Amino acid sequence: MTKQYAEQGMQKSVQNMGVGDTFVTKPRIITKTDLELYAICTGDTHPLFLSEEAAKAAGWENQLVPGLLTFSIAHGLLTQAGFTKDVMALMGTDNLRFNATVYAYATIRVETEVLSKRQTSQGRWVGTYSWVVKNQNDQVVAEGENHWMLRA
């Protein structure tokens, strides 16, 4: 029987979950400060990410959030929720898609499902979980599958 977990003052590690179990993080607003810090850290200074005027001039509603920033904040939400606290290595992401535009001041949350989990001959656990990032309108804006390794 699969279980569904939602972060509400609790933490749930993928290590303590079974295949088919799901988890939902708390929501988080992506601010303009997030965009500026991302640009400083990565050098990705595209005007659509840093200027509301440039984004509107290009036909967008508002300043855009880079897909990779959305992905990074989503991963951070999983970390803050304790979902990835026992992960010792992120081994890859498959089927990464940015499905919809994310604008400054969007509110996102992450929904996950454990897809696989097995113990290696060294006693470590490896597995895969799918994740979707949804915005304040419950629209899927990004998705993928992460492969991970846990401590023995």
pLDDT digits (tens, 9 = 90+) for 15-47: 788 899 999 999 999 999 999 999 999 999 999
Average pLDDT over residues 102-115: 97
- Asked if the model's pLDDT at residue 14 lies above 80, the reply is no
State the DSSP H helix or E strand holding residue 148, giving kind and residue range, or none if neither: strand 140-150
Q: What domains lie within the chain, and their CATH numbers?
A: 4-30+67-150 (3.10.129.10)
Cα distances from 46 to residues 7, 16, 33, 39, in angstroms, run: 34, 41, 15, 8
Average pLDDT in the 46-63 region?
96
Positive or negative CA dihedral for 16, 90, 116, 76? positive
Average pLDDT, the chain: 91
- Looking at residue 15, its pLDDT comes to 76
Predicted TM-score (pTM) of this structure:
0.89
In the structure encoding, which two tokens stand for residue 105, read together? Answer: 């001041």
Interval 98-126 mean pLDDT? 95
Three-state secondary structure along 96-123? Answer: EEECCCCECCCEEEEEEEEEEEEECCCC
The mean pLDDT value for 107-133 works out to 94
For the chain, percent of residues with pLDDT exceeding 90:
80
Pairing of strands 125-134, 22-24: unpaired
pLDDT value, residue 138? 98
What is the distance between the alpha carbons of residues 88 and 24, in angstroms, rounded to a whole number?
A: 21
Give the separation between CA 8 and CA 5, rounded to whole angstroms: 9
Q: Quick check: 6 pLDDT over 90?
A: no
